Structure 1
Amino acid sequence: MKTYQLFSPALIGGVALQNHIVMAPMTRCRAIDNIPNQLMAQFYGQRNSAGLIITEGTSPSLNGLGYARIPGVFTKEQVAGWRLITSAVHKGGAKIILQLMHTGRISHPLNMSDEAQILAPSAIKAAGQMWTDAAKLQDYPIPKEMTTNDIILTKAEYVTAALNAIKAGFDGVELHGANGYLLEEFLSPVTNKRKDNYGGNIANRCRFVIEVATAVANAIGKNKTGIRLSPYGVASDMPLYPEIEATYNYLSLQFNNLDIAYIHIVDHSSMGSPSVPLAIKQLTRKNFKNTIILCGGYDKEKAEADIESGLCNLVAFGRPFINNPDLVQRFENNWTLAALPTMDLFYTPGENGYTNYPNHPPH
């Protein structure tokens, strides 16, 4: 019988994991008033047989709360709510990392407090619409172009949020540099038209992301800091551009110099987006000596193959974890996975379509 590395212990940033299986970050919109709660603790606790859980995108500030009912980590109440979740996850032996997601221009005032601002590197409106509980679907607004002071304050908010995450019991943080949110908006010449040191050439467009990663790593430890990237991703109106490979080559070299714990690359091609070329993944592997997590469209066999080949160290699974809370056990025992449900309950409030999926019947 084949022995799978997938189920053997692993390390990330010096932290011991019970297996090589990562639960990917997935926005689920259950944080009423943007505060993590007991229902969320139940959801994450049900999935604590993973080696590592990366939380849903969590805002470092009022300005980053773009979506309805997403959590933050910038108030005492939010930190206390997250403690419920880290405790529930650690009880099963899993480790848990908080994903810091500032939504940038992907936002709407109806999802935010009156004192919040919708910020972006440049005042470029995203195509498309966003759900608001108050008025249903609404067009994205034109964001405010960040001033130098906005950039300084936003970096400080990331640092405070990362420190709060450690207070809440997390094993580290992941900076969300993917999917068209604030950090990726700085990386792309389509969304970043700045004329200062944060725009123009590749080094300038990467500057904000590298400065945020450096500041967070200095605050909580480089061994507790990771980043998620989506080269060739088109989510949130992010068109492709000619310098993609050169941009991510530069970034991976800089993150290697920073010696952060990991790079997490998401490939959305299984959901219809352009694929991340194998060459980009191989280049990242060549440039970056620490842990690489790959995510997107994996099954058990493909995950094992990419770990065995050395292309990555860990593999993240997203949608299969939604309705297979015991996904690790199903993989280990070759049990059938439950068919993915329709999306109509992915982002609705309440337990339906969230915590009410059963484990596989015992054999």
Structure 2
Amino acid sequence: MSALFQPLNLGAILLKHRVVMAPLTRLRSQQPDDVPHGLNAEYYGQRASDGGLIITEATDTSEQARGYPGAPGIYTADQVRGWQGVTEAVHAKQGFIFSQIWHTGRISHSSMQPGGRLPGAPSAVVAAGNHMDRQGNVVPFETPRALTLGEIEEIIGDFRKAAEHALAAGFDGVEIHSANGYLIDQFLQDHTNRREDAYGGSIENRTQFLLEIVEQVTGVFGHDRVGVRIAPWGVSADIRDSDPQALFSHVSVELGKRKLAYLHIVEPRANQRSDTNALDPNAPDASSRFKGLFGGPVIAAGGFTQETAESVIHARHADAVAFGRLFIANPDLPDRFRMGGPLNPYDRATFYGGDARGYTDYPYLDTATPDSSPKTVTPQ
């Protein structure tokens, strides 16, 4: 039997297959209040499958957490009601859905912050390059302000409130986004964390912010319905650390002690801008390095094909694999893998923002036209 189609106990839930839908920022919430709506429910419902797991796009825990125009939130009553429509659509197909919750930290802009304040971060270290403002204009990154201890405590509380709202919205669990250069990752890595208090300096101190958030979120859902996503050796959003092996070894061990549902690892070998799914042979294989230290189920993500996903599970470097771009273009991806069907090509131009085009209009295998077979896609 295919490794991808063997059942898997993932904390409190039993998956019927191991083809996970990765968290994918799509920037299509209803504006101006970042509310999930019917189009989002249709999108997630299309991609739900019996016994399969969907992890939502990164969802703001507060107004201060916002970093992208169009990203959804889960901190208002309207947003919770919007997410209820999404979870109902997924559960109608007997699928599971976890809410990925985040705070973007310095990867934001003052136009998206309450009162027009500068974004908050562990330290006042500006990110390289450009971002976008509330209107979607390209702007240089601003130097963030260092968060006070009081603000850190408030943000940790916001993660708990987000978990409570996710429970009320009908989610099966929560994933804490600690990857890709956003706030928790900024606390973890020493390029962005220059603090000299209890949240900075040593690896143990830099990990404390994450662990306090985990404690609050597991207090709502239980340890067996909470996962954490990390990106060792990642370079997104100008993030880096002087000793990633030591840092993420410690993170993996500490998360393992808490008996979480899973650890979600973004592979640094994958080039997210490439359409060939080629892996960098010189980059570390993160899942194989940290799975044993964590001790529980691991979801691997980053540039996988069906074949490489099968191999990583056979090698016991991971227990499930999350697919992103392939799930965007193929709402019935597990069925296509199971039957060996052709894959729809994806359109990068419609990844972020917009309407139904490139969102809910990709055909299912049984309705695909002859020209929907795989083809080369030029990066945008």
In the superposition, the TM-score normalised over structure 2's length comes to: 0.90
**Residue 196 and residue 157 in structure 1: after superposition, are their counterparts in 2 closer, same or farther (change >3 A)?**
same
Within-5 A mapping of 1:1-363 = 3-32=1-30, 33-49=33-49, 51-114=52-115, 118-132=119-133, 134=135, 136-239=137-240, 241-268=241-268, 269-271=270-272, 277-278=284-285, 280-341=286-347, 343-361=348-366
Aligned-residue identity in percent: 38
On the 8 A contact 2:68/2:134 being kept in 1, the answer is no
RMSD: 1.7
Deviations 1:262-307 (A, max 9, x none): 11001252326977512x4223111122210001111112111211
How far off its partner does 1:257 sit? 0.9
CA contact (8 A) 1:28 1:347 kept: yes
- Following TM superposition, by how much is the alpha carbon of 1:113 offset from its aligned partner in structure 2, in angstroms? 4.2
1:97 partner letter: F
252-261 or 304-313, larger mean C-alpha shift: 304-313
Distance in 2 (alpha carbons) for counterparts of 1:156 and 1:117 = 21
What CA distance in whole angstroms lies between the structure 2 residues aligned with 1:237 and 1:211? 25
In the TM superposition, residue 242 of structure 1 has moved relative to its aligned partner by 2.9
SS of equivalent to 1:74: coil
Indicate if the aligned counterparts of 1:63 and 1:116 stay in contact, CA closer than 8 A: no
Measured at CA, do residues 356 and 116 of structure 1 come closer, stay the same or move farther in structure 2, by a change above 3 Å? farther
TM-score between the two structures when normalised by the length of structure 1:
0.94
Displacement of 1:114: 2.9
Q: How far has the Cα of 1:135 moved from its partner?
A: 5.8
Describe the SS at the equivalent of 1:169: coil
**Per-residue deviation at 1:134?**
2.3
Distance, in Å, in 2 between the alignment partners of 1:301 and 1:91 is 30
- Tell me the residue number matched to 2:374: none
State whether residues 48 and 90 of structure 2, in contact with CA within 8 Å, keep that contact through their aligned partners in structure 1.
yes
Deviations 1:311-333 (A, max 9, x none): 11111000001111111111111
Q: Distance in 2 between matches of 1:83 and 1:144?
A: 35
Distance in 2 separating the partners of 1:242 and 1:132: 31
Distance in 1 (CA, whole Å) between partners of 2:170 and 2:272 is: 33
Q: Structure 1 306/287 Cα, relative in aligned 2: closer, same or farther at 3 Å?
A: same
Question: For the Cα contact (< 8 Å) 1:177–1:229, is it kept in 2?
Answer: yes
Quick one: distance in 2 between partners of 1:98 and 1:12?
15
Aligned-partner Cα distance in 2 for 1:37–1:87: 12
**Offset at residue 131 of structure 1 (A):** 2.5
State the distance in 1 between where 2:111 and 2:283 align.
34
Contact 1:231–1:276 (CA<8 Å) still a contact in 2?
no
Q: Mind listing any 5+ residue stretches in structure 1 that lack a counterpart?
A: none
Distance in 2 between residues matched to 1:109 and 1:354, nearest whole Å: 29
Do 2:118 and 2:142's aligned partners in 1 also have CA atoms closer than 8 Å?
no
Work out the CA distance in 2 between the residues paired with 1:333 and 1:257: 39
The residue identity in structure 1 corresponding to 2:44 is: Y
